[in-house]
């Protein structure tokens, strides 16, 4: 949507006209990857729930049911020492955006290691549909819609318009700003957007908070596939987020 110069100062602007026409499923898939969510559907109400996998497994470990009496000893237990679809370096990335400054390329990216030299070297485990957002010296997010045109034969600086990749930020931080009309000053506290907490790389952000279970599994992978005899009700009550 183009905002024309003759837009009246108090005129209405439809914010939905500024948003991308983006399928909801793509947005949900991005959020699932961002926080390592597990999707479950209630068999009776058909309600779909999304839960962070790692924290849920850690919280329910103490209540894990004992299935050892239900093991079928007549069937062999398959043991695997590698995980399917895993390589030595598994990259978690934001989408690249040429509009970002060079210093922000690779911003927010990190990886999980699997110390098995027989595997392939690296792969993209997850690439989000959004670009990471850098923070300027003012503490505000940098959304590079305009870029200074270098080498232009003009006294006045000239700018080229860019089309940044869609961003995902958190709109919750309150910041105190001083405004003035030249004669009086006042402090206001508007909410501003932040990229804090959305990086894969920081020690307190996404990978440590939501992917700690995968980091532990990659460090020493072992898959057991035993034969287990369960009742129909136990199958119906099975919860992916409760270890056994």
In a domain, 5, yes or no: no
Same domain, 27 and 115: no
Please give the pLDDT value at position 1: 42
CA distance 126 to 63: 31
Same domain, 235 and 120: no
Please give the pLDDT value at position 14: 61
Q: Which residue has the tokens 């237990």?
A: 77
Same domain, 29 and 86: no
User: What residue numbers bound the domain in which 241 lies?
Assistant: 14-63+231-244
Helix (H) or strand (E) holding 224: strand 223-225
Q: What is the pTM of this model?
A: 0.79
Query: How remote is the C-alpha of 189 from its chain's centroid?
Result: 28
pLDDT digits 0-9 by tens, 184-193 = 888 888 788 8
Same domain, 83 and 21: no
Cβ contact 91:72 at 8 Å: no
Would you list the DSSP string of 166-182? PB--EEEEE--EEEE-S
Please give the pLDDT value at position 53: 94
Main-chain dihedrals φ then ψ at residue 233, nearest 5 degrees:
-65, -40
For the stretch 16-20, contacts whose Cβ atoms lie closer than 8 Å and that sit 24 or more positions apart, written own/partner, are 20/166
- Alpha-carbon torsion 200, 204, 206, 211, what sign? positive
In a domain, 154, yes or no: no
Please give the pLDDT value at position 158: 80
Same domain, 242 and 121: no
Longest dimension (CA), the chain: 88
Please give the pLDDT value at position 194: 85
In a domain, 148, yes or no: no
For the chain, how far is it from start to end, CA to CA, in angstroms? 53
When divided into structural domains, the chain yields a total of 2
Same domain, 19 and 105: no
**Within the chain, which residues score under 50 in pLDDT?**
1-3
Please give the pLDDT value at position 11: 57
CA distance 55 to 49: 15
Same domain, 202 and 88: yes
pLDDT digits 0-9 by tens, 101-142 = 888 889 999 999 999 999 999 999 999 999 999 887 777 788
Same domain, 121 and 166: yes
Q: Coil, strand, or helix at residue 113?
A: strand
Q: Coil, strand, or helix at residue 123?
A: strand
Query: How remote is the C-alpha of 108 from its chain's centroid?
Result: 10
Strand residue runs (E) in 57-150: 78-80, 89-93, 110-113, 122-127, 146-148
């Amino acid at each position: 949507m183009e905002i024309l110069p003759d837009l009246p100062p108090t005129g209405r602007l439809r914010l939905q006209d500024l948003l991308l026409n983006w399928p909801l499923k793509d947005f949900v898939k991005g959020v699932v990857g961002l926080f390592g969510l597990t999707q479950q559907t209630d068999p009776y109400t058909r309600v779909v729930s999304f839960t962070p996998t790692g924290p849920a497994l850690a919280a329910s470990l103490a209540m894990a049911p004992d299935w050892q009496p239900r093991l079928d000893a007549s069937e062999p237990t398959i043991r695997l020492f590698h995980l399917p679809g895993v390589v030595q370096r598994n990259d978690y990335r934001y989408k690249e955006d040429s509009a970002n400054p060079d210093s922000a390329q690779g911003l927010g990216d990190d990886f999980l290691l699997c110390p098995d030299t027989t595997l392939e070297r690296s792969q993209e485990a997850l690439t989000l549909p959004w670009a990471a957002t850098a923070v300027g010296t003012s503490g505000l997010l940098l959304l590079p819609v305009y870029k200074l045109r270098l080498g232009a034969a003009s006294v006045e600086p000239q700018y080229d318009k860019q089309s940044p990749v869609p961003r995902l930020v958190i709109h919750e931080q309150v910041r105190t700003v001083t405004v003035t009309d030249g004669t009086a000053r006042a402090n206001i506290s508007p909410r501003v957007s932040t990229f804090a907490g959305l990086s894969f790389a920081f020690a307190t952000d996404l990978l440590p908070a939501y992917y700690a279970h995968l980091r532990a599994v990659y460090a020493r992978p072992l898959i057991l596939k035993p034969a287990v005899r369960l009742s129909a009700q136990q199958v119906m009550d099975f919860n992916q987020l409760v270890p056994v």
